[in-house]
Structure 1
Amino acid sequence: MLSGGLSRLKEVNQSLNPSEQKAAKYIIKYPEKMVEMTVSDLAEASGSSQSAIIRLCKSLGLKGYQDLKLRVAGDLQDDRSHGDEYKEIRPESGLKTIMTSVSNNNIYSINETLKLLDIDQLQKVIDLVKQAQRIDFYGTGASQLVAQDAQHKFMRINKVCTAYADTHLQLTSAVTLTENDVAFAISNSGETRQIIESIKAAKEAGAKTIGMTRYGNSTLGSLVDIHIQTLSAESDIRSAATSSRIVQLNILDILYVAIASQNYDESIHYLNRSREAIKKSFKVK
């Protein structure tokens, strides 16, 4: 069943024009009513217009109003089945509450992102990374930790890659890429200036470019050849480096396992070699 309509609406709500925002707010507040409405019904009930609702569907990357209705209906069904939703962390929460909230937020964000991901698009990413002679992973802050994790994984299956923490080194590396290489940028906001500059340099060098950002329009998303979008319904800075980071890690794990499985024999060979090398390095002489 299609789903993910409500998550998309919540993520882009603040960036919509006033007329589209009226419709979006109504749908978020009254999803059960919306799934029974026509476009004209929703326009009248929300104080919006039919044309604004059609524009809203396009802004969400959907085929039309019927597609949005199906996804909202799917969200309602998922809520009834699972009951998990994003919960913001409150001051002086008890440890048990924190354990449950953090875990549920991570699970919620992964599940909402899975509703959004396009398999054909992910396959294109897999094909690019698999064929690349070299991969540069770019990120700052928490996203840099994700980039380092990606480097660690892909190196173990014999992919030549970098994940420099220094943004000057990221830029220096970007200008040395070729048309046989891939630049993979990670930025939740999609607006990190240093990452954008590195992607611009990589594109000028002829490399293929991939960007991973939160759902919605962003400068990074508009620049890259393939844009992977994630959903992590975080409402303040305290949570911003938690569930969004987990979602980024999860997507890179998916890509890594997919590439390793497609090159199974070769991947197992290099994984065994790296495991043996690490084991030997820790043996007491």
Structure 2
Amino acid sequence: MAPLAKIRGERDRMSAIERRIADFMVENAHLLRDYSSQQLANALGISQSSVVKFSQKLGFKGYPDLKFSIGESLARRESANGDDDETADGEGGDDPGALLAESLWRAKGEAVNVTRALNAHADVAAVAEAIRVAGKVYAIGVAHDGLYARAIAIKLALIGRTAIHLFDPALMAVGTSSTAPGDVLLVLCEHGHDAALCHTARLFRQRGGKVVTITRHTANALRAHADIALLVSAHDPRPQVELLLYQAALQHLLDLVFLLLCEDEAHLRMLVENAAPIE
């Protein structure tokens, strides 16, 4: 995983001093090559050992290793940007529409790649297997997550799974009252702080169901109620772009689960039958 993406993703779990280091590194990544661990500590008014421990907590041998990894990541990104600029010059010149499209494409690609790195294939496969053997699958989401919950419920119905889309937060707990052991609750919630969703997930597990959550890669209350937690990483200083990156990475995770389910011949046969035009 890209080191800066890892720092952003772990920020909410950090101490106050660690967050200061994280914010400085993210905001001044290009300057780190000129900073020793002592200079960075002096700039932040902390001890050098705090910088070293921060680096090791992220899985690096020390600060030099982290600094090198960040520099290498930035160099790869700049190289990719340079290649894309040459392509844009050859195909669209200074066309602002083409440049915007290239920028969004690159950003989505990075969000999807980091999200893939966050989620072990075994976890994604476990979600697909839980859905495959479940008696019923409930899909829940609020706000824009609700659209993706509805879409995955429709896809699951197309392959013959009993899928129920719940959309009213006030009725979610009631909607899952018929939960049987082995049923699956798929909860989509970007920040994972919705109290109604947490309450529903807790009740669902008490009734013997299995809870799958998809949230951002941050510490949040909803993940504490999950049997399997899938994570999304999407960061951009522009809120309108960050929303699109989150949705692209979320859709990628849901698509992977769906494709794994379609490896079952019975599911694939049902999909083909249901997708056939009605004559």
TM-score range, shorter-chain basis?
Answer: 0.7 to 0.9
CA shift, 1:203, in A, is 1.4
CA shift, 1:211, in A, is 0.7
1:232 to 231, 234, 247: 234
2:144 to 137, 142, 145: 142
Whichever residue aligns with residue 187 of structure 1, its letter is C
Between stretches 44-53 and 265-274, larger displacement belongs to 44-53
Question: For 1:121-270, what aligned pairs fall within 5 Å after superposition?
Answer: 121-235=123-237, 237-239=239-241, 241-261=243-263, 263=264, 265-270=265-270
Unaligned runs of 5+ in 2: 83-95
Q: 1:161 to 1:115 in 2, by over 3 A?
A: same
- Aligned residue in 2 for 1:20: 18
Contact kept, 8 Å, 1:174 with 1:205, in 2: the verdict is no
Superposed CA offset, 1:144-190 (max 9, x none): 10001111111111111111222234322222212211111000111
- Counterpart CA distance in 1 for 2:225 and 2:181 is 16
Between stretches 14-23 and 218-227, larger displacement belongs to 14-23
- Counterpart CA distance in 1 for 2:138 and 2:269 is 23
- Counterpart CA distance in 2 for 1:71 and 1:163 is 43
Superposed CA offset, 1:43-73 (max 9, x none): 5675544357536765xxx555469838646
- Counterpart CA distance in 1 for 2:30 and 2:129 is 38
Q: 1:159 to 1:121 in 2, by over 3 A?
A: same
Contact kept, 8 Å, 1:22 with 1:47, in 2: the verdict is no
Whichever residue aligns with residue 261 of structure 2, its letter is I
1:83 is aligned to 2:81: yes
Contact kept, 8 Å, 2:11 with 2:218, in 1: the verdict is no
- Aligned residue in 2 for 1:115: 117
CA shift, 1:109, in A, is 1.7
- Counterpart CA distance in 2 for 1:128 and 1:66 is 40
CA shift, 1:102, in A, is 3.7
- Aligned residue in 1 for 2:272: 272
Q: Secondary structure at the match of 1:83?
A: helix
Percent sequence identity over aligned pairs: 15
1:54 is aligned to 2:53: yes
Alpha-carbon RMSD: 3.3
**What is the TM-score when the length of structure 2 is the normalising length?**
0.79
- Counterpart CA distance in 2 for 1:152 and 1:120 is 24
**What is the TM-score when the length of structure 1 is the normalising length?**
0.77
Superposed CA offset, 1:102-161 (max 9, x none): 434323321221222222222222222222111111101110100011111111111111
Q: Secondary structure at the match of 1:183?
A: strand
Whichever residue aligns with residue 23 of structure 1, its letter is I
- Counterpart CA distance in 2 for 1:51 and 1:241 is 33
